[in-house]
Structure 1
């Protein structure tokens, strides 16, 4: 039944096998055995794709419910023990994971020695269901989807540079003056050459230019620390550097867009104790005001929010 449900979720024997830690042939055989036991075909198989039959669609709901009930019973039983067990599979963006998720995972694993963790670092949004992930961390605007989301923390973006760069080129007094500066640009945004600021109560796109364009926040940060220009980056990357005096906020009186950091989960998968407890642990560790934002003086804006610059 589990082999069938995971295959139906992923629409792939291969992806279901990866999730279950089995070979593709074993998963395929288990689904075939289930069909033989029921006396009905549940999945149509072609060389290109899998699809549920009418009987499969009807059986899926009951099978999912049965697996959830079994997982809940198992969780109730294991609560009498002292350790979390099993594997926690997480997908997360690279820069955030290295700076903030890494120490959290190490601390959580130390508290639960029987827990295994599999984490994939990728700034792209991976297919949670097809890849068999228990959860993912997503930063910025969440697209409409069937995923379940829990907000963990705000995600502010900060315009910043080194004092050395500002001494050599001057600090912009208004956002519009950025067009006269070298800016280090993030190619992963919708418009790499346009940053949004709240000006006179409205979000205004400001054109920027620069000689370095990259899809990696750590590379942007390195370029800015080397004095190559002004950038706009999430506060989880630059907050501590500003507190240390290595970077200086630019245009602090002009709010930039705020989004959020979310934990997201597949909709049909039972939220196992290890997933729920790790999410709660991470939210508590970050805090209602993220530790990397303390002292930066962010204020809430009253106009609509949008995608991160």
Structure 2
């Protein structure tokens, strides 16, 4: 039998004055409540209640045990209320893993508002392109670019992550514009290194992606460094619209359109907010997913 349930029957019996009244309050058959009390006394090896047809009286040890049982049951009730409150109010440590350049450019501006809305949530943010296993408890949500992720992980589309060739007016004035992809070998190009490999540039011909044999000026896993080199007029780079739109609107960057566009894949690339589906019901994760989806997602 369940000892905690038997303790509850014991305490309720004393509160209600009889086993039958206790059984009614606990929605138990009287025979079941009586067995619970007998089992508890057998487990303890002592008599707790002196039963009679007119009254229920505690033994000396029964009175001491009653006090302890009441304290234990009250602590359990308080613990359950705490868990219930925790589940209703977004709180606790929220772990986020996000691509470094996207974090600086898009996520960081919204963190103050998120913290103000959910003061009980404490953030633990890993800013890197390191791949994470969301099926484990180490990371609550992740923001990653690339192809549509594994279907076991829920993915909310945030924006297009297909990169485009860009350069500053200063770079173009100094080095000129390539007429097509065959002239890129004469230019300074910045390549990005993902956690798995260097992202090679290529073109799509008849539906097939073909890599280009080019020697990059620099290779790095820092999107910020690529941006700094590009804004200094030192390189051309492939960057997505979310990273360059503001600078292009101000005329600081120019999108370089070639007859055969330079790309990293024949497929359209997306950027996703990822989370392990069963954990969406955890209030802190649901709050974060809904907040950042609303702030960051754009239409396809």
Report the TM range for the smaller structure's normalisation: 0.5 to 0.7
- Provide closer, same or farther for how the CA distance between residues 193 and 88 of structure 1 changes in structure 2, counting only shifts above 3 A: closer
Specify the SS of the correspondent of 1:194. coil
Please tell me whether the aligned partners of residues 142 and 274 of structure 2 are also in contact (alpha carbons under 8 angstroms): yes
Matched, 1:263 2:273: yes
In the other structure, the counterpart of 1:275 is 285
Query: What does residue range 127-276 of structure 1 map to in structure 2 within 5 Å?
Result: 127-130=133-136, 132-142=138-148, 144=150, 146-188=152-194, 192=198, 194-199=200-205, 202-251=208-257, 254-255=260-261, 256=263, 257=265, 258-276=268-286
In the other structure, the counterpart of 1:288 is 298
* Alpha-carbon offset, residue 109 of structure 1: 1.2
**Equivalent pairs, count:** 216
In the alignment, structure 2 segments of 5+ residues that lack a partner are 1-79
Higher-Rg structure is 2
In the other structure, the counterpart of 1:98 is 104
Q: Give, in whole Å, the separation in 1 of the partners of 2:260 and 2:164.
A: 10
TM-score by length of 1: 0.61
Q: Give, in whole Å, the separation in 2 of the partners of 1:171 and 1:190.
A: 31
In the alignment, structure 1 segments of 5+ residues that lack a partner are 1-69, 291-309
* Alpha-carbon offset, residue 248 of structure 1: 1.0
Please tell me whether the aligned partners of residues 75 and 273 of structure 1 are also in contact (alpha carbons under 8 angstroms): no
Please tell me whether the aligned partners of residues 181 and 209 of structure 1 are also in contact (alpha carbons under 8 angstroms): no
Q: Give, in whole Å, the separation in 2 of the partners of 1:253 and 1:271.
A: 48
Q: Give, in whole Å, the separation in 1 of the partners of 2:173 and 2:196.
A: 31
Aligned CA RMSD, in angstroms, stands at: 3.0
Q: Give, in whole Å, the separation in 2 of the partners of 1:193 and 1:152.
A: 22
